[in-house]
Copies of this chain bind each other. A is one copy, B any other.
Amino acid sequence: MPVNLAPPNPDQLLPVKGIALGVAEAGIKKANRKDLLVMRLGDKARVAGVFTQNRFCAAPVSLCKTHLGAGKGIRALVVNTGNANAGTGEDGLNRARRTCGEAAKLLSCAEEQVLPFSTGVILEPLPVEKIIAGLPAAVADLKENNWFNAAQAIMTTDIVPKAASKQISLGGALVTITGIAKGSGMIHPNMATMLGYVATDAAVSQPLLEAMVRHAADRSFNCITVDGDTSTNDSFMLIATGEAGAAEITDGASREYAALRDAVVDVAQMLAQAIVRDGEGATKFMTIAVEGGASGAECRQVAYAIAHSPLVKTAFFASDPNLGRILAAIGYAGIADLDVDKIKLYLGDVLVAENGGRAASYQEQDGQRVMRESEIAVRVVLGRGAAAATVWTCDFSYDYVKINAEYRS
């Protein structure tokens, strides 16, 4: 069951002026479930995105990059679940192109103005005819107040739909930021998560929008892991429709840029953490904070070594303070000149280890108390510098094995 994650309240998901969403049941993998989403953008909208660094990136990821690079402006996004269109070669690219072409006809724009996204099983042909047959219903459903249904339509093994909204005042205008994401397994984003979409009605220049999406990804989707598997389809898109009436942001040093950027980070973090809370089989939510490092990179390296360790994750599942496993993970993280005598390890507020061994003050019952909680903070102080990094992850349970052993059945 998801860890402290309720479905979003549809009434609290704020529409974003200039973006309409429509969903449909295309029957791609299973009957009677929404599996197709169309997002239509207004004329002033700008889009920036970051994508998986998996070399076996999916056909829609390749096509997204081509269409974004074409510079004609993006007018629509089409997302299907049930099939990833990854590991599908040239034929997969053609099927993604056909999806864009058919959507473009329905929306009266060019094929290059449509971005395609897919998620689901890898290495199977995209059922493009079913998608094309479902597009008219999705287009007929287009409306601004449709974010909750959109969040549902992009789910695969997710139990809970993921969406978040925020409003800020920007130069006197009220600006909205709303986002949705999906993901539960194959989660170790490297540039972005499985699928994440954040839209705002603020106006932002293209270079600043691109800087903002990278900034937000590095503080949200790039800080989570469920199982250490980087997906072939990770995509995180930031959309600025420019229809809130706020002046366009063109200065990266401005207060307005910082305010919008921070609000986008907030929404992206809520979505990224929701993915971990709904991680396959998750029963605990862990925050792994590493500080005192010589660089942010080495802090992330240590945090991910802990977050990826199946031994650490099963100990958390069991609420067992078998904390030597965390020390072992720190030790094999790959920092060649790490001085273990300088390291401090905290579990919640409890000092567990220092001077290369167990802290004199540590008592098993204190570790046990923290371990029983559903949200657990692990803090590692490296004693090497001033850099820090935080990673969010979940535990490893019987249900993770069950979900992934039965994924295709």
Contact = CB atoms under 8 A, between A and B. Distances in A.
Nearest to A328: B232
Interface in A364-403: 396-398, 400-402
Contacts of A307: none
A340 B88 contact: no
A12 interface: no
A328 B401 contact: no
Copies of this polypeptide in the complex: 2
Contact of A332 (B54, B317, B353, B405): B54
Contacts of A328: 54, 56, 86-87, 122, 186, 229-232
Nearest to A404: B314
Contacts of A55: 330-333, 335-336, 338, 340
Interface in A99-144: 121-125
Nearest to A281: B401
B404 A315 contact: yes
Given A357-B89, A404-B314, A408-B322, A229 B327 contact: no
Interface residues of A, number: 71
Given A324-B124, A325-B122, A230 B57 contact: no
Nearest to A337: B55
Contacts of A311: 185-186, 227, 229, 404
The 10 closest A-B pairs by CB, nearest first: A122-B324, A89-B357, A56-B331, A123-B324, A318-B405, A230-B332, A314-B404, A54-B331, A89-B356, A55-B331
